[in-house]
A and B are shown apart, each in its own frame.
Chain A
Amino acid sequence: MTDTSPERPYLSGPFRRPTILVFAGLLAASAMFGGWAWWHARQGSQRFARALAAVDAQRFDRVQRELDALETTPGYTVQCHFLRGVLLVQQQRFFPALDEFGHSVDDPELRVRTLLHSGEALYRVQNFQAAIGLLVQVLGTEPDSIDAHRWLAAAYYDLGLRDQAMRHMVRVSELDPSDARPHRLMGLIQKDFENFAAAVRSYRESLRRNPQQADRETILLELAECHVKLRQHQDALAALAECRPAPNRWALEAECHYGSSNLVEARRRIEQTLEAAPANLRALLLQGTIFLDEGNVEAAVRVLSQAAAGYPKDYTVRYKLGQAYRRLGDSQNADEQARIAAEIKQLRLQFSELHETAAAEPNNADVRCQLAILAGQLDRPDLARVWFQAALAINPKQEQPQRQVSGGSQPKTKVDAKEEP
C-alpha cells in the first residue's frame, strides 16, 4: 500500500536542506558561545573594576568577594595576584604581599597601582628607601597621586628628612583639601623644630578641615602650647577652653595666666593641676618659678628638686634649680645642677646637630644610630626606638639597632606612633 497523502515538507523555504540546517545550528551555537564568552569576559572586567573601586574605598570585604569570583575567571591571574597583594597588606602580611605584587608589577594596566601598594608594604616593613624608590616612580606617571605623596611624606619623615616630608605633605594638602591629617603632622614637625607660628597655622588649618577629628583634643593642646611659646596667651586660653578639664590643660592655663601677670589665677590652676597630677612637670616648674619671683627660694628649691627627681633629664628644671641654689648661697649644689644642665644642653645640641646631619645624609645609618643613643641618654626611649628603626631601614645589618629594636614587640614607625598617614 502506498502512502498517497501529500508530502508534508519538514521545513520550508531556505531551511529546506539539511546542510543548511547544520550550518544554522553551528552558527547559533557559536553565537551563543560567543555571547556567553563575551558576557563572561565582561563580567570579569566588571568584577575587577568593582574590586579596584573597593580597594580605593578601603572596602576590603568587597575586594575579597570580587577576588573570590575572579579566581575562577580565566584570564585574570595577574589581577588576582594584585588583589591578593592588596588584601595581604591589609592583613599586615607585608612580605607575602610583596610576592604577590611581584606578579602584577609588569602588567601595564596595573603597574602604577602595584608600585603604590608595594611602596606602602615596604614602608610598613620599614624599608623606607625602597619604598621611596617605588613611590617616586608612581609620581613619574601620576604626579598628583595623593597616596604616593602621603606615603612618601611618611617615609621621608621616618628617615629624619623633614624638608622632603613637608614638601609631600603640603602637596597632599593641596590635592585633597578635605584631608585634615597632613596639617596636623606638619604642625607637629613645625612645633618640634620650634617654628611655632607656622605650627599654629598648620594646627588651625587641620582643625578647620575636620573640626571633629579623633585627635582634636591633642591638637588643641599642642596648638595652645605653641601659642604659649609665642606669648599669645589669650589665644592659648581660647584653644584650651575647648579641651576637656584635665591636668595638662590646667597647667597650660596656669602658664597663660602667669604670662598675663594674673598670678592669682595662675596659682589656682597650678594647685588644681598638682592635686590631680602631683608630678606634672609644667606645673612644678611654674610653681618653682613663682616661688623664685617671690623670693621664696627655699620653697623654690623644694619644688624644683621634686621636679628634678621626676624628670632628671629636663634642662629647664636643672637650670632653674641651679639658679635657686645659687640664690640660697649653696654654691656646691648650684654648681652641680649647672653641670647637669650643661650636660643636658650639650646632649641636646649634639642631637640637634646630628639631626641636621641626618637630614643632609639620607643614607647615613650611623648618624641615625647615634641619634637613637642620644635620645636614650635624654630619657626619650620612644624617640630612640624610632631612630634605631630608621638606622635599620638603611642598614639592616647594624647590630645595635637590631638588638634594640628586636627587644620590642610590634614594629612602629613615627607615623604609626601618631596616626596613619
Chain B
Amino acid sequence: MKRPPAIIGACLLAIVAAIAGWGVCIVFRPARAPSERSGSDDGKAGEAGIAEAPCPIQLREVSDQTGITFVHTDGSSGRHYIPETVTAGLATLDFDGDGLIDIYFPNGAPLPGAPAGQAPHHALYRNLGRWQFQDVTELAGVACAGYGMGATVADYDHDGFPDLYVSIFGPKVLYHNNGDGTFSDVTATAGVADGNKLGAGVCFLDIDGDGDLDLFVGNYVKFTFDSHISFHQGPYEEYAGPKVYPPELHALFRNNGNGTFADVSDVAGITRHPGKGMGAVCADYDDDGDTDIFVLNDVYGNSCFQNDGTGKFREVALELGFKYNGEGTPLGSMGVDCGDYDNDGLLDFYQTSYQTELPVLYRNLGHGIFEDVTRRSNAGQATVNNVKWGCGFIDFDNDGYRDLFVAMGHLQDLIDHYDPTTSYRTWNVLLRNQGDGRFAEVSDQCGIRQTAAHSARGAVFDDLDNDGDIDAVVLNSRAGPTILRNILQESGSQNRWLQIRLRGTTTNRDGVGARVWVRAGDLTLVDEVHAGRGYQSHFGSRLHFGLGPRERVEQVKIRWIGGGVEVFSDVPVDQFVTLIEGRGLPQAAGSTANRSE
C-alpha cells in the first residue's frame, strides 16, 4: 500500500510547521535588556550581583494616574545649545503644610530659534492624597518663565513655611512662601539673583551656625549665545561638552536675618575656585559640627569646600580624594548624594557620571579621606554605558541599608544614529544594598524596567503617599515625568520604619544640616537634613529610616547646626514624628560620634 502523496504532504506540513514555529520564536522572542544591547560587560558584571530571591523592592509606574500633565521642554531648536543638555532637576516639598509631599518641576524655555508657541512654565503640583495631584502653579504664583535648571527648598525666614529657590539660566528666583498657598518673588529684595549665569545645583545651609539659612549657588559654565559652539558627528550635529566653555564662579549668600542676603563668595573663599558646577550637596563629612559644601564639576574636578565653622571655606577635594575618581580622572560629573551606605556612622558620597565612566561611590574612611569603592561594591557597572544624572541613597525596602537609584539617559539627542552602545532614552537603574558592602542590580526585578524609557535628568525621593516607604519622581527631558510608587507596604513587608521631621527653634526651623542618629537594637543609622542634593534637585526634608524587623527605636539623637545635642528616647516606629529643638534631653556636645557608641 503505497501512499506517497500522503507522506509528502505530511513532510511538507512538518516543514511548514517548523518554519512557522521558528518565525513565531523570532517575532516573539523577549526584547533584550539595554545592558545586553550595549555589548559591554554590564550584564555579566551585574550577573554576579543579581539577587536570586524575589526582589523586596517593588516600584510601579503611576505617572498616568496622578493627574500630573507636566511635560518638560528644553526649548531646543536644533541649534544644540549646551543648556538644553542639563535641564533640569526638581524638588519635593510640603509647601502647604498639610503633611503631603508636593512636587515642583522646573522647566526649560524657548531658546533662540525655537518655534513660537505657548510658553512653557515651571509647575507646582499639590498632593491631594491617594496619588492625585493638582496643578496649582498659577494659584501659587511660581510659574517662572526663566529657563529652569533646578531648585532647592527650605524655610529661610523661620516663618514655618518652606520657601523655594529656583536655579535658572539667567537670574535665579527666590520664592517666599506666604503661608496661604501662594508664593511671592522676593529675589530683588533678597539680592540672590546671582547675575545672568547658567545655574546648576543650589543648596540652603547654615554656614556659620547663626540659625539663619544661607544659600550656596552652583553655576555651570560661562555660556552666552554668542559663544555657542556645536560639533558634528558625521552628518549629525552634536552638543558641545563643557570643555569648550570657561568655568563659572559659584556664589555664596549669607542670610542677614531680615529677608536680605549678602554676597560673601569672596570672603568665604568660594570664588577662588570657579568650576563647571552640576549637582551639589551640603553635608558635614568630617563630623565636626559644621556644614561643608560639595559641588560636582563637569570634567573639571569636583570641589569640596571645608567649613571652618565660621563660614570661611578651604577647598580640600584633592586631599579628601573627592576631586577625581580613584584613578585620578576628572569625570563628567552630574548628580551627587550622601548617606551612610555601610552603616559605619560616616556619611559616604555617590556621584553620577558620563557614558563609559563608572559612577563613584566614595566611602568615607573617617579621617578626612574618601576611598573610591565603586568596583568592589558593584555600585556602578550596570550604568556604565549610559549618561547618569539624578541619584539617591534611599532605603527602598526599609531593611536598614540604603540602596542606590540612578537616573539615566543620554544628552546627545541624536546619539542613537551613531553610537550603538548607548541610547538617548533608556531605563533607570536600581542597585539594592545587600548589607555586606556590595550592591546588586535589581532593575529588572523591581519594576523600573517595565516603565517607559526616557532621557532622565533629576530624580527625587520622598514618601508621597505617607505609607512609610519612599517613592520616586524622575524628571525626563522633553517628556513627562516618571512617577514610581513604592508598593513595599502593600506587598506585606514586615520591615519597620521611622520618618522624622525636625523643627528648629533657635537653629534654622527645618533643621537643615542637623545630624540625626537613630538607634534601634543592634542598628544605628545616621543621616542629615539636606536642602539641595542629587542632580540639581531637592528632596528628603523629612528623614526616613528603614529599621528592618526592629520594633523599637531606643534613641534618636540630634545635633543641631549652631545648637546643642539632644536625645529623644523611645520613639515609636512606623510613625511620622516631628522632633522639636529643646524638647529632648540635652546632651554634652562632643559625644556625637556614632562609632564610639
Q: Are A234 and B41 in contact (CB under 8 A)?
A: yes
Asked whether A327 and B44 contact (CB < 8 A) given A315-B328, A319-B324, A319-B327, the answer is no
Residues of chain B lying within 8 A (CB to CB) of residue A316: 327-328
Q: Are A293 and B376 in contact (CB under 8 A)?
A: yes
Q: Are B39 and A235 in contact (CB under 8 A)?
A: yes
Q: Are B421 and A261 in contact (CB under 8 A)?
A: no
A196 on the B face (CB < 8 A) = yes
Q: Are A197 and B44 in contact (CB under 8 A)?
A: no
Residues of chain A lying within 8 A (CB to CB) of residue B356: 196-197, 229-231
Asked whether A231 and B358 contact (CB < 8 A) given A259-B375, A293-B376, the answer is yes
Interface size on B, residues (CB 8 A): 27
Q: Are B319 and A334 in contact (CB under 8 A)?
A: yes
**CA A292 to CA B321, docked complex, whole Å:** 13
Q: Are B384 and A326 in contact (CB under 8 A)?
A: no
Residues of chain B lying within 8 A (CB to CB) of residue A334: 319
Question: What 1/0 flags go to A272-312 for Cβ under 8 Å of B?
Answer: 00000000000000000100110000000000000000000
Residues of chain B lying within 8 A (CB to CB) of residue A232: 39-41
B326 on the A face (CB < 8 A) = yes
B453 on the A face (CB < 8 A) = no
Residues of chain A lying within 8 A (CB to CB) of residue B328: 315-316, 319-320, 341, 345
Q: Which of B45, B318, B321, B369 contacts A260 (CB 8 A)?
A: B45
Q: Are A289 and B45 in contact (CB under 8 A)?
A: no
In the complex, chain A residues 28-57 whose Cβ is within 8 Å of any chain B Cβ = none
A195 to chain B, nearest CB (A): 10
B128 to chain A, nearest CB (A): 45
Question: What 1/0 flags go to B19-50 for Cβ under 8 Å of A?
Answer: 00000000000000000000111001100100
Contact-residue bracket for chain A: 20 to 34
Residues of chain B lying within 8 A (CB to CB) of residue A234: 41, 44
Asked whether A326 and B41 contact (CB < 8 A) given A197-B419, A334-B319, the answer is no
Question: What 1/0 flags go to B341-380 for Cβ under 8 Å of A?
Answer: 0000000000000001010000001010101010110100
B39 to chain A, nearest CB (A): 7
Residues of chain B lying within 8 A (CB to CB) of residue A261: 45, 48, 375-376, 378
**CA A271 to CA B351, docked complex, whole Å:** 33
Q: Which of B41, B321, B324, B373 contacts A233 (CB 8 A)?
A: B41
With both beta carbons as reference points, the residue of chain B lying nearest to A334 in the complex is identified as: B319
B381 on the A face (CB < 8 A) = yes
**CA A316 to CA B328, docked complex, whole Å:** 6
A223 on the B face (CB < 8 A) = no
Q: Which of B40, B369, B373, B381 contacts A230 (CB 8 A)?
A: B40
Question: What 1/0 flags go to A230-248 for Cβ under 8 Å of B?
Answer: 1111110000000000000
Residues of chain B lying within 8 A (CB to CB) of residue A233: 41, 44
With both beta carbons as reference points, the residue of chain A lying nearest to B422 in the complex is identified as: A197
With both beta carbons as reference points, the residue of chain A lying nearest to B365 in the complex is identified as: A327
Q: Are A231 and B318 in contact (CB under 8 A)?
A: no
Tally of contacts, chain A with chain B, CB under 8 A? 66
Max count, chain A CB within 10 A of own CB: residue among B318, B365, B367, B381? B318
**CA A292 to CA B371, docked complex, whole Å:** 9
Q: Are B321 and A323 in contact (CB under 8 A)?
A: yes
In the complex, chain A residues 307-351 whose Cβ is within 8 Å of any chain B Cβ = 315-316, 319-320, 323, 326-327, 329, 334-335, 338, 341-342, 345
Q: Are A231 and B44 in contact (CB under 8 A)?
A: no
Residues of chain A lying within 8 A (CB to CB) of residue B373: 293
In the complex, chain A residues 204-246 whose Cβ is within 8 Å of any chain B Cβ = 229-235
A16 to chain B, nearest CB (A): 86
B367 to chain A, nearest CB (A): 8
With both beta carbons as reference points, the residue of chain A lying nearest to B328 in the complex is identified as: A319
In the complex, chain B residues 292-344 whose Cβ is within 8 Å of any chain A Cβ = 318-319, 321, 324, 326-328
Residues of chain A lying within 8 A (CB to CB) of residue B45: 259-261
Q: Are B319 and A326 in contact (CB under 8 A)?
A: yes
Asked whether A231 and B381 contact (CB < 8 A) given A261-B376, A319-B327, the answer is yes
Residues of chain B lying within 8 A (CB to CB) of residue A315: 328
With both beta carbons as reference points, the residue of chain B lying nearest to A237 in the complex is identified as: B41
Question: What 1/0 flags go to B570-594 for Cβ under 8 Å of A?
Answer: 0000000000000000000000000
Q: Are A289 and B326 in contact (CB under 8 A)?
A: yes
**CA A95 to CA B295, docked complex, whole Å:** 60
**CA A229 to CA B358, docked complex, whole Å:** 11
**CA A258 to CA B326, docked complex, whole Å:** 14
**CA A362 to CA B369, docked complex, whole Å:** 46
Residues of chain B lying within 8 A (CB to CB) of residue A258: 375
Question: What 1/0 flags go to A248-262 for Cβ under 8 Å of B?
Answer: 000000000011110
Q: Are A260 and B41 in contact (CB under 8 A)?
A: yes
**CA A245 to CA B376, docked complex, whole Å:** 28
With both beta carbons as reference points, the residue of chain A lying nearest to B44 in the complex is identified as: A234
**CA A121 to CA B376, docked complex, whole Å:** 56
B322 to chain A, nearest CB (A): 11
**CA A38 to CA B39, docked complex, whole Å:** 68
A171 to chain B, nearest CB (A): 14
Residues of chain B lying within 8 A (CB to CB) of residue A327: 365, 369, 371
Residues of chain B lying within 8 A (CB to CB) of residue A260: 41, 44-45
Residues of chain B lying within 8 A (CB to CB) of residue A338: 318-319
With both beta carbons as reference points, the residue of chain B lying nearest to A201 in the complex is identified as: B420
A261 to chain B, nearest CB (A): 6
**CA A231 to CA B365, docked complex, whole Å:** 27
B134 to chain A, nearest CB (A): 45
**CA A326 to CA B368, docked complex, whole Å:** 9
Residues of chain A lying within 8 A (CB to CB) of residue B378: 261
B414 to chain A, nearest CB (A): 15
Q: Are B369 and A231 in contact (CB under 8 A)?
A: no
Question: What 1/0 flags go to B261-289 for Cβ under 8 Å of A?
Answer: 00000000000000000000000000000
Residues of chain A lying within 8 A (CB to CB) of residue B48: 261
**CA A323 to CA B326, docked complex, whole Å:** 9
Residues of chain B lying within 8 A (CB to CB) of residue A335: 319
Q: Can you report 21 A-B residue pairs in the complex whose CB atoms are below 8 A from each other? A: A197-B419, A229-B356, A231-B40, A231-B41, A231-B358, A233-B41, A234-B44, A235-B40, A259-B45, A260-B44, A261-B45, A261-B375, A261-B376, A289-B326, A293-B373, A319-B324, A320-B326, A323-B321, A326-B319, A338-B319, A345-B328
Given contacts A231-B358, A316-B328, A323-B369, 12 further A-B contacts (CB under 8 A): A196-B356, A197-B421, A230-B356, A231-B384, A233-B41, A259-B41, A259-B45, A259-B375, A261-B45, A320-B327, A329-B367, A342-B318
A-B CB proximity, top 7 nearest: A319-B328, A232-B40, A233-B41, A231-B384, A316-B328, A230-B356, A234-B41
